[in-house]
Amino acid sequence: MPSSFDVAVLGGGIAGATAALAARRAGASVIVIRKGIGATSLSSGAIDLVDTLRPGGRCVPVVEAVRWLTEARPYHPLAQLAAGDAGRVVEAYTRAVELLREPLRLAGNATGSGPLLTAAGNWHPGGVYAAAHGPGAMEGLDGARFHVVALDLLPGVVPERLTAALDRRFGAAAPAKSGEAASAAAAPPPTPGPTSASMPAPRAAAPATCSLGELMRLGAPLNASPAILATLFDDPAFAEAFAASCAERVRRFKPTHVVFPPVLGLARSAENLALLEKALEARCFETLSAPPSLPGARLQAALDAALSRAGLVVIDGTATRGVRDTVHVHGPAGESELVARTFVLATGKYLGGGLARNGRVRETLFDLPVFVDGEPLPERTLERYLAHSPGARQPLLAAGVRVDGRLRPMDAAGRPVREGLFAAGAVLDGVDYGDDLGGTGLAMLTGFVAGENAAREVPR
Ligand SMILES: Cc1cc2nc3c(=O)[nH]c(=O)nc-3n(C[C@H](O)[C@H](O)[C@H](O)COP(=O)(O)OP(=O)(O)OC[C@H]3O[C@@H](n4cnc5c(N)ncnc54)[C@H](O)[C@@H]3O)c2cc1C
């Protein structure tokens, strides 16, 4: 392996992986150093650039949400990239999504904003999302008949909440008429299997807790977690038996769309959804996930596979700052020193390891200046950056590296701190995935731009 590269990407989450793929496509030799997994593997399956959801469940166009954000938070990376023109952000995001659409099996589009259903029965802004969560933009579905399938081994998923959310949105679950109620009451007790709730007659399919027995009969252990279930679904024999079991009890409701919890396989979710669609004769999709998140794990696995297919060198190890244009790597394979002409810092925030709070908040790799909401973060007295009322925004969660319009880290005077250094993803100031939903989409966009810029800046 050569020890000198055009671009070294530090971090292997969605920001780092996108930066590496973009730099490679721009013709650079690229190495990725990653010490483990970060926030990407916990994300829900939605790829969020910016929060488009407004009170009342309405979604505004992405460009409008970007414009609002850039005016409200001029220090935010999106404001830096937009330079007064929100359309530039959307145009670059569209290119980033197209780079990753096939490797990540993405659906939706960069300008879309229709909402997606979460496992808790809430609505999450849509746009771009893993295809397993289609039909995604829940628009143009009036007249659809939804059926919700839940698995008893997943206590967090309450099918009635999902049904109620769909009901509220599409108004299809009218209160049962007396005749229907009578026939539902006369219906045979549900056979063991996935718990399910149907529309427009939710009471017809709110069965007893039989699914545990059925899942165990199919091979699930008593202590199955989402991860164990997903592994089971990666076995075609389990998936086929599950599809047959579902078909028995779901098809009689003649749904047009069937909603599943997000556990239908780690490696084979797309195949399993196709199998279920055939067996149920309906469109099938998963809700988004809460952590621990199988969609997040799938996303990280798909990124890793894309890096491997692109032939990029990936080292598992912790990078630390070296002199001038080098980084040290400490990993299972020992210690090494790498030379690179440009660097992309994509180490994430507290979860990924890019920021640490130990007395003061610091950027862990280059000890870059840390900002919060555009202001340099003082060494001490962080008190005023912590909110104490429940539900209030925590400014410290948005802290990070401040960048210019080319995504170069800046000092307090607005000067780039280091030649050939770019930053992307959650390590940036202003990115707070708990607050403004600047999540995987923002990491993807900034990774894409940083990767292209790093490749362009390589001295030839
Ligand atoms: C619970 C949860 C739910 C979320 N839900 C959503 C959602 O619904 N939609 C959405 O869009 N976003 C969501 N997000 C946010 C989203 O996951 C993050 O914004 C995004 O994944 C950040 O990507 P990243 O690549 O910048 O960082 P990370 O994914 O954290 O990656 C950081 C990488 O840097 C590596 N690293 C750190 N330090 C070093 C070092 N010194 N040397 C080598 N490698 C290093 C880490 O090992 C890791 O590989 C969620 C986040 C969480 C935590």
> 263, 287, 311 — which closes off a domain?
287
Whether residue 53 is found in the same domain as residue 110? yes
Would you say residue 156 lies in a domain?
yes
Output the residue whose Cα is nearest ligand 1's atom 3: 43
Residue 150's pLDDT is 79
User: What does the pLDDT average to over 164-173?
Assistant: 71
Whether residue 282 is found in the same domain as residue 303? no
Whether residue 227 is found in the same domain as residue 188? yes
When computed from its CA atoms, the radius of gyration of the chain, rounded to whole angstroms, is 24
Q: Which domain holds residue 346?
A: 4-114+297-456
Whether residue 141 is found in the same domain as residue 251? yes
With the most atoms of ligand 1 within 8 angstroms of its CB, the residue from 31, 35, 304, 335 to mutate is 35
Whether residue 309 is found in the same domain as residue 335? yes
CA distances from 345 to 90, 395, 403, 432 (A): 23, 22, 11, 17
Q: What is the pLDDT of residues 85-132, one digit of tens each?
A: 999 999 999 999 999 999 999 998 898 766 788 888 888 887 899 999
Q: Assess whether the C-beta atom of 363 lies below 6 angstroms from ligand 1.
A: no
Would you say residue 119 lies in a domain?
no
Q: Assess whether the C-beta atom of 315 lies below 6 angstroms from ligand 1.
A: no
Cα 127 to ligand 1 centre (Å): 20
Total number of domains in the chain: 2
Q: Crossing angle, helix 236-250 and helix 211-218, to 10 degrees?
A: 150
> 287, 318, 344 — which closes off a domain?
287
> 261, 287, 313 — which closes off a domain?
287
CB-CB contact of 218 with 245 (8 Å): yes
Cα 413 to ligand 1 centre (Å): 28
Core vs surface per residue 60-86: b (16+ CB within 10 A) or e: bebbebbbbbbeebebbbbbbbbeeeb
CA distances from 451 to 7, 39, 310, 334 (A): 8, 20, 14, 27
What is the spatial distance between Cα 298 and Cα 314, in angstroms, rounded to a whole number? 18
351 Cα nearest atom in ligand 1: 30
CA angle 127-129-131, nearest 5°? 125
CB-CB contact of 284 with 277 (8 Å): yes
User: What does the pLDDT average to over 13-27?
Assistant: 98
pLDDT of residue 423 exceeding 80, the answer is yes
CB-CB contact of 193 with 245 (8 Å): yes
The CATH number assigned to the domain holding 39 equals: 3.50.50.60
What is the spatial distance between Cα 160 and Cα 171, in angstroms, rounded to a whole number? 15
Using pLDDT thresholds of 50, 70 and 90, give the confidence band for residue 180: very low
Whether residue 24 is found in the same domain as residue 85? yes
Q: What is the pLDDT of residues 259-318, one digit of tens each?
A: 888 999 999 999 999 999 999 999 899 999 888 899 999 999 999 999 999 999 999 999
Would you say residue 292 lies in a domain?
no
Whether residue 388 is found in the same domain as residue 439? yes
- 421-423 and 334-345 strand pairing: parallel
User: What does the pLDDT average to over 54-67?
Assistant: 86
Output the residue whose Cα is nearest ligand 1's atom 5: 43
With the most atoms of ligand 1 within 8 angstroms of its CB, the residue from 21, 93, 440, 445 to mutate is 440
CB atoms within 10 A of CB 314: 17
Q: What is the pLDDT of residues 133-156, one digit of tens each?
A: 876 555 667 778 888 887 776 666
Tokens of 176: 């049962």
